[in-house]
Amino acid sequence: MYNLQLSPEQLEIRDTVRDFVAWEVKPLALRPERLEARMRLMLTDALDKASQLGLRTLALSEDAGGAGADTLTSCIVTEELALGDPDVAAVLAQTSMLAHALFDLLMTPEQRARFLPSFLVDDRHHLALADHEPDRDAALGIHYHRPERGEAGVKTTAVRAGDAWIINGVKDRVANAPLAKLFAVEVSSGANGASLLLVPRDTPGLSVRESDRGGHFHHGACGELAFKACRVPVENLVGAEGESPLAGDAARDLPQDSALNLGIGRAAYEAALAYAQLRVQGGRRIIEHQAIGTKLAEVAVRLEVARAAIWQAAWACDHPEAFADRSLRDLPLTRIAKVFASEAIYHATKDAAECFGAMGVMRDMPLQKYVHDALVCLHSGTSNSDAKLRIAEALAGYRRPANAAALAAE
Amino acid sequence: MDFTLSNEQRSWQMTARKFAEEEIRSISLERDEISDPSETFDWEIIKKGSRLGFRTMAVPKEWGGHGTDFVTQALVMAELAKADSAISKTFSQCWKWSHLIAATCTDEQKRRFLQPFLEDDTYLLGKGISEPSAGSDNRLPPADDPKAGLKLRAERQGDDWILNGEKCFIANASVGKLFFIDARTDPNAPLKQGTTMFLVPRDTPGFRIGKVFNKSGWRFYQNGEMIFENARVPHANVVGPVNGSDMKTQQAGDRTGGDLFGDLELAANALGVCDDACGMALRLARTKKQGRRLLFEQQVVQLKLNRMHLLTEALRSFVMRVAWEHDHKVHSANPGLCMNFSTDVIQEVSEINLDLHADAGVMDPRADKLVRDAIIWSHLAGDSVQRMKATRRLQ
């Protein structure tokens, strides 16, 4: 049953994270050097403390040593973290999501035994998925409502040599790359589809380069991986050869991404609301002016409706049976939430910043950063233009042959 | 109706276009990226532009200026802004206040201040109104709170006035040589009846410039703090009557000693930025391929280009109409409405441009810069307040 009453556990974890952010993250995130959008250093201390709170292993099952949080709980946590710092939120969300996917769902018991213990004990052990390559044309505009042409295959190769795979190629836009100690890498091994290989960071032949923020829009830390005759044991294959379980968009464009966006919007909203109750112009607090009151109301409307869409998408991920019994329409709810939330929240952060007058564009104040961060969300992941085309395909019941599995996961 | 430009207007436009393309564009991004806000300014571009007349073009011919009409001024602002919005604004900020000098100063004041302004390529002008606790209150003074508004105090002492207080966000503060300063001369009267305007040269004793504000957009443009500690200004520097600062809008009216020109100024500047964004987007769509086909072939791309161009052309029509109305002394709410419209248009157009680039996987720092510059429109001109102010002209 669709139920928006949070469980006592969910409320408790939300409050814990909220306190943690207020005391440990926000003060660091508001330091002047962090307010510059272009170059900001990762808050590694905050990441360490968040790991000690269990947020790095949030979605990992309790059996495996995590908190076993579902998608909705992960969204609640990510929103709270992003209220303080979107980079910290992005890194933790990625590691937590991949920990659940890899350790709980995809690895063999033998693989788990090899990789899980070191992951659990090390607060700085993060995970990354390398599934993007330079010059990959992902734009749907060129094959909307048509089968994809076969040219978009994976170019990074893995060749079998005895009891090892030899990997060659380049991956880019890899979220968490600068921090990750274990990579799941999509490769072409000669089979029809892509295969997934586990590559520890210290494997000879693998080099990692952190990418700057001018390369593409992203929160968190991103990087490029170069493989030169990089050798991993045969046993590092995840799933069957040619059947990467994380192919397509299965691990991209999650409700957590929109929850992160929502946290940014809320940071702007909370700042504007506080300021509007302090600042006096026109003989009264500015919130008492219709112009500002209406603006703040619109910000609140956008954020609340965005949250409803995001939570519905998250709940649907946790309750796939709700599609089967027709409680939910068979639509890509995560995409729908992302398109709405990213546009609404960008608008909301701009309105919130406007309440600050000239201070809203000053780099030593956080409002311009919130606007920038919301703009980054608007343009990260699958573009909204593409997302709308995919939603349209879904409305028409169009099933893309190559991506049928991915669509089901949306 | 005749939209043809005169030869003189065309000639100014072409000179501005050439200067913008050859000189401004090449330094635009580099200046934007400098992280210290007091280091972004470049005197060479000001001197070069000044020699072409872009600093002094609004000064009337009888006082040795170029006496260009408002249509010409709008054309030049747009051309310069197409290469860099903030650099265009630095020049036009001088026009705004040379309009004011021409409209309100005595002949003696004109001789003292207009003459050096005309002769010195580095002589920039500014005006100080905003203060930390008085922004919107100066633009739209509340009827029920006569104490609201600026607090900078000026007290008469013999032949001088002694100024004490602070200003903030003042344009050209750190680079200007002469400022028009609004100060409270009767603290018991409401803003409009208790404020006097003073001409304050940069080297006035007791007057200094504080920090330059670190803005996310318009980084070349210098918005600074002003500090007055017993600053001594001669009575001869009072502009208009004591307690009559408001005369600039009442009497100047269609001569636009600040207010109305300021609306046209922002709208014309926005038009230049929109032209730049449209140009960038169209170039991208005509050259970038996805899956061996030009972006231009995609319907989604066509619709975005359509939106950008229809908004930009509508803004152009409105800007040129307002400029023409200024030249023909037509009073209306149009300048304010046009400026409000330009805020919406510059933001939507620059955002679609960034969107097209991001969708195509192209990170163009200039697309990002245009969005940051565009957001300034909602902040430095007090957006909701300016909208209500324009509406009140309809009453």
Q: What is the pLDDT of residues B145-188, one digit of tens each?
A: 777 888 899 999 999 999 999 999 999 999 999 999 999 999 88
pLDDT at position B252 is 44
Q: What pTM, to 2 d.p., does this model score?
A: 0.94
- Kindly report, residue by residue over B249-267, the tens digit of the pLDDT: 545 444 444 467 889 999 9
Low-confidence ranges of chain A (pLDDT < 70): 37-39, 137-139, 149-152, 249-250, 401-410
- Counting beta carbons within 10 angstroms of the beta carbon of residue A376, is it exposed (0 to 12), middle (13 to 18) or buried (19 or more)? buried
- Kindly report, residue by residue over B44-60, the tens digit of the pLDDT: 999 999 999 999 999 98
Provide, as residue numbers in chain A, all residues whose Cβ is less than 8 Å from the Cβ of B133: 280
Which CATH fold topology does A255-379 show? Butyryl-CoA Dehydrogenase, subunit A; domain 3 (1.20.140)
Q: Other C-beta atoms within 10 Å of B286: how many?
A: 11
Give ranges for CATH 2.40.110.10 in chain B.
Answer: 125-245
Interior angle at CA B219, CA B218 and CA B223, nearest 5 = 85
pLDDT at position A200 is 98
Question: How far does A382 lie from chain B, in Å, by closest CA?
Answer: 9
Please state, in angstroms and rounded to a whole number, the distance separating the CA atoms of residues A378 and A360: 20
pLDDT at position B259 is 61
Domain ranges (residues) in chain A = 8-124, 130-238, 255-379
Q: Residue B6: is its pLDDT beyond 90? A: yes
Question: How far does B155 lie from chain A, in Å, by closest CA?
Answer: 25
B125-245 maps to CATH 2.40.50.140: no
Q: Residue B128: is its pLDDT beyond 90? A: no
Domain range A8-124, CATH class: mainly alpha
Tell me, rounded to whole angstroms, the distance of Cα B158 from its chain centroid: 36
Higher-confidence position of A43 and B381: A43
Q: Which residue has the tokens 């701009």?
A: A350
Please state, in angstroms and rounded to a whole number, the distance separating the CA atoms of residues B367 and B122: 31
Give ranges for CATH 1.20.140.10 in chain B.
Answer: 258-392
Asked if A8-124 and A255-379 have one fold, the answer is: no
Which CATH fold topology does A130-238 show? Butyryl-CoA Dehydrogenase, subunit A; domain 2 (2.40.110)
B7-119 maps to CATH 1.10.510.10: no
List beta partners, residue A166.
Answer: A159, A231
Helical segments of A209-289, H only: 255-276
Please state, in angstroms and rounded to a whole number, the distance separating the CA atoms of residues A251 and A410: 10
Closest chain B residue to the Cα of A134, Cα to Cα:
B361
Encoding tokens for residue B121?
Answer: 């390529």
Please state, in angstroms and rounded to a whole number, the distance separating the CA atoms of residues B35 and A40: 13
Are A193 and A243 in contact by the 8 Å Cβ rule? The answer is: yes
Q: By the CB < 8 Å criterion, does A382 face chain B?
A: no
* Interface confidence (ipTM) of the complex: 0.93
What are A206-214's contacts with CB under 8 Å, separation 24+? Answer: A206/A167, A206/A230, A208/A177, A208/A178, A210/A177, A210/A178, A211/A172, A211/A173, A211/A177, A212/A39, A213/A37, A213/A38, A213/A39, A214/A38, A214/B363, A214/B365
Higher-confidence position of B323 and B395: B323
Contacts of A179 (CB under 8 A, 6+ apart): A42, A47, A91, A124, A126, A128, A221
Provide, as residue numbers in chain B, all residues whose Cβ is less than 8 Å from the Cβ of A350: 347, 375, 378
Provide, as residue numbers in chain B, all residues whose Cβ is less than 8 Å from the Cβ of A373: none
- Kindly report, residue by residue over B8-42, the tens digit of the pLDDT: 999 999 999 999 999 999 999 999 999 999 999 99
Cross-chain CB nearest to B135 (options A141, A358, A363): A358
Provide, as residue numbers in chain A, all residues whose Cβ is less than 8 Å from the Cβ of B139: none
Q: Residue B379: is its pLDDT beyond 70? A: yes
Please state, in angstroms and rounded to a whole number, the distance separating the CA atoms of residues A113 and A107: 9
Report the mean per-residue pLDDT for chain B: 91
Task: Work out the average pLDDT over B355-375.
Answer: 95
pLDDT at position B320 is 97
CATH of B258-392, picked from 3.30.470.10, 3.20.20.120, 1.20.140.10, 3.40.50.300, is 1.20.140.10
